[in-house]
Amino acid sequence: MKFATFASLVCLVAAAFSPANAQVADMNKILYAYLRGTETGFDPAKYSDTGSVEIFKSIYETLLGYDYLARPQMLVPGAAEAMPEVSEGGRRYTFKIRPGIYFSDDAVFKGRKRELVAQDYVYSLQRLVDQNNRGAPWDFLFKGKIIGLDEKIAEAKRTGKFNYDKPIEGFKAVDRYTFQVNLTRPDYLIPQMMGSPATGAVPREAVEAYGDDFDGHPVGTGPYRLREWQRRNHIVLEANPNFRGITYTPPAGAKVDEPIAAQLAGKTFPRIGVIDIRVIEVPQAAWLAFDSKQLDVMQEMGTAYARMVAPDGVLLQKYQDRKLQFYRESQGNTYWHMFNMDDPVVGGYTPEKIGLRRAISYAYDQQWEANIVKQGQAMPAQTPIGPEVEGYDASYRNSFYRLDPAYGNAILDKYGYKDCDNDGFREAPGCQPLLITYLDQSNRDTRDYDEMLQKMMGSLGIRLKMDKKTFSDLVKQRQAGQYMMSFGGWNLDYPDAENFMQLLYGPNAGPVNEARFKNKEFDQLYEQIASMPPSAERNAKLIRMSKIVAAQAPWILTNHALFSHIAQPWMIGYRPHPSSKEYWQYYDYDQSMRRSMTGR
């Protein structure tokens, strides 16, 4: 009796001091997941690789975010109370931050609760353009758009130090909870940027206290925090006790997966206390782990395994009998072959250079790569824009893309690429030597791909050499324009066509526009679509841009990868997201079912 009184008193006191929606994650629930590539670090300003973003997305909170179930993707408020207020004709965005959001406890806060305020975003967003953050891989989000920001970047270049203390008009904390973005020109994509995981808020005192160790010591307001990290091997996240706890309501007017929405209704998230993530790079090992029930969810399985479990896109009977949950879906990505437009052999805009690139494009077999090399886990691309993205048109067919090596050979003959020395290979006009070097990645298994390229060039009588480099060297060389031909791929940062078209925008030539393509009409169209809200007119411009790309052929489009995801029968509320990120905070599982089937 006495004990009961005391206990209820404790409960009463605890209730009085905790927010109404305190998080209710069950710390005994452990979700077993995997990363198919390695991570590098959890500082959002420094890293943009898939593995790292995947993890830090759950640690930090962005002002806006993409709804878990809405398809096509829809932006919804995150740390902001509501969608931003747009004024000055698209030049000013005002965000109201939800009061009462706290960072996870950390020694740097000296035992006090640290609330998230507008100033945190002013600081965090500026970090994204600070070159001292490993070259600022995210600087394209804001460079050239924000009032006062470019001056600061120029100043930092001079002094070598980015001055965070000097206020700028572009990113402004109007009051404790009001954050304002002021732009140099109207830009309708600012909300999309604020949904990119890179724009999560970090506390300045923690970044400054930990320095480079902030990579492995992230402090955020998100649903999870880092408990344990063994580099490139094992990552453990645990529910952030300071997280407010969220519920799921489908946004108005959105198309959602109804059964999954019903499973989520009325619950407070996150429900799983611990996320145990292993890095498993070999697809076979990942599949065996899933098959033996050591993994609960398997996002993005390897192509051979996807084909094995579902040869025609439908799960085989034996897996259906196990009640596995299976999804095969397109995501916002595009892959291509590209030419360095500054290269003296394959680059340039004279008729014979365009002819050479177009001939190669006629020798490329889109269908072969999608069906044979990628095992049907990819669909041929018609425009640079990835699917599940604003501006993507699934019904559009590009007349420039057809397999016709005979036509390609005719083009080469016309422009004087003749076999002068009768060795079976063509020479460049004027009997200059012609050898195309293709920059490729050495430490991945690309034999199918390489054989396809040899066959493609062989059908035109062009000599090809594969130049194999490690991935980091390859990226460096591509960004510096030290290559002739290579491959490229892009995963969306935000689901808008602009995010894809910027890859070919002239002034972006360099690390972003790696093909260094410059076309006046394309650039003008890009500038128009960048500050235009979605419309039929904008879509027509996007199609025209795609045709320019196909006609000039700085890129030869290949495909959009499809992804297969599989989950164990005990998973509740699981739905893969087209951003290729996991929404762990909404996952749950049936404890008793898992225990009875695995003993875990």
Partner 1 sequence: MTTMTEKVSPGFWRAAGKRLWADKLARGCLFILAVYFVLALASTMGWLAKDWNKQVAVSWAAPTMVGKQQQDSHGFKVEVIAPDAEARALDPLTPFEAELTAAAKAYQQEAVVLADTLPLGADKVGRDIGSKVIKAAQTSITVGLLAALLSVAIGTVFGAVGGYFGGRLGDALEWLYSVFTSMPYILLVLAFASVLGGGVHTVILVLGFTGWTGTYRLIRSEYIKQRSRDYVLAASAIGASDARKMFLHILPNVSHLILVQLSQDVVNFIKAEVILSFLGFGVPVEAISWGIMINEVMPELVLGKWWQLATVATVMSLFVVAFGLFTDQLRDALDPKASRR
Binding site for partner 1 (CB under 8 A): 284, 287, 302-305, 307-308, 311-313, 351, 354-355, 358, 366-367, 370-372, 375-376, 379-380, 397, 399-407, 409-411, 413-414, 442-445, 447-448, 450-451, 454, 466, 468, 544, 547-548, 550-551
The residue among 82 and 304 lying less far from partner 1, judged by its C-beta, is: 304
- Please report how close the Cβ of residue 361 comes to partner 1 at its closest, in angstroms: 11
The residue among 365 and 388 lying less far from partner 1, judged by its C-beta, is: 365
- Please report how close the Cβ of residue 347 comes to partner 1 at its closest, in angstroms: 15
The residue among 466 and 475 lying less far from partner 1, judged by its C-beta, is: 466
CA-closest candidate to residue 555, choices 600, 597, 517, 596: 517
Report d(CA 61, CA 218) in Å as an integer: 12
The residue among 9 and 551 lying less far from partner 1, judged by its C-beta, is: 551
The residue among 303 and 334 lying less far from partner 1, judged by its C-beta, is: 303
- Please report how close the Cβ of residue 63 comes to partner 1 at its closest, in angstroms: 39
Q: CB burial class (10 A; 0-12, 13-18, 19+) of residue 254?
A: middle
Q: CB burial class (10 A; 0-12, 13-18, 19+) of residue 331?
A: buried
- Please report how close the Cβ of residue 298 comes to partner 1 at its closest, in angstroms: 15
- Please report how close the Cβ of residue 22 comes to partner 1 at its closest, in angstroms: 46
The residue among 105 and 329 lying less far from partner 1, judged by its C-beta, is: 329
* Residue 79 Ramachandran class (φ > 0 left, ψ -120 to 50 alpha, else beta): alpha
Report d(CA 75, CA 73) in Å as an integer: 7
The residue among 216 and 311 lying less far from partner 1, judged by its C-beta, is: 311
Report d(CA 301, CA 282) in Å as an integer: 10
- Please report how close the Cβ of residue 166 comes to partner 1 at its closest, in angstroms: 47
Report d(CA 42, CA 57) in Å as an integer: 9
DSSP, res 129:
T
Report d(CA 161, CA 132) in Å as an integer: 8
- Please report how close the Cβ of residue 69 comes to partner 1 at its closest, in angstroms: 27
- Please report how close the Cβ of residue 54 comes to partner 1 at its closest, in angstroms: 25
- Please report how close the Cβ of residue 401 comes to partner 1 at its closest, in angstroms: 7
- Report the largest interatomic distance among the alpha carbons of the chain, rounded to a whole angstrom: 103
The residue among 58 and 377 lying less far from partner 1, judged by its C-beta, is: 377
Query: 486 and 474 in contact (C-beta within 8 Å)?
Result: yes
The residue among 221 and 564 lying less far from partner 1, judged by its C-beta, is: 564
Report d(CA 484, CA 461) in Å as an integer: 18
Q: For residue 489, what are the contacts with CB-CB under 8 A and spacing of at least 6?
A: 333, 334, 335, 336
- Please report how close the Cβ of residue 367 comes to partner 1 at its closest, in angstroms: 5
Buried b (16+ CB within 10 A) or exposed e, 440-463: bbeeeebeebeebbeebbebbbbb
Query: 145 and 183 in contact (C-beta within 8 Å)?
Result: yes
Q: Are strands 588-589 and 571-572 parallel, antiparallel or unpaired?
A: antiparallel
The residue among 84 and 405 lying less far from partner 1, judged by its C-beta, is: 405
Element of type H or E holding 497:
helix 497-501
- Please report how close the Cβ of residue 451 comes to partner 1 at its closest, in angstroms: 6
Query: 237 and 226 in contact (C-beta within 8 Å)?
Result: yes
The length of the chain in residues reads: 600
The residue among 15 and 551 lying less far from partner 1, judged by its C-beta, is: 551
The residue among 226 and 453 lying less far from partner 1, judged by its C-beta, is: 453
Query: 422 and 528 in contact (C-beta within 8 Å)?
Result: no
- Please report how close the Cβ of residue 385 comes to partner 1 at its closest, in angstroms: 17
Query: 434 and 485 in contact (C-beta within 8 Å)?
Result: no
The CA dihedral of 158, 164, 170, 171, to the nearest 10 degrees, is 160
Query: 80 and 177 in contact (C-beta within 8 Å)?
Result: no
The residue among 261 and 411 lying less far from partner 1, judged by its C-beta, is: 411
- Please report how close the Cβ of residue 409 comes to partner 1 at its closest, in angstroms: 4
Q: For residue 233, what are the contacts with CB-CB under 8 A and spacing of at least 6?
A: 278, 279
Q: Residue 394: how many CB atoms within 10 A of its CB? A: 9
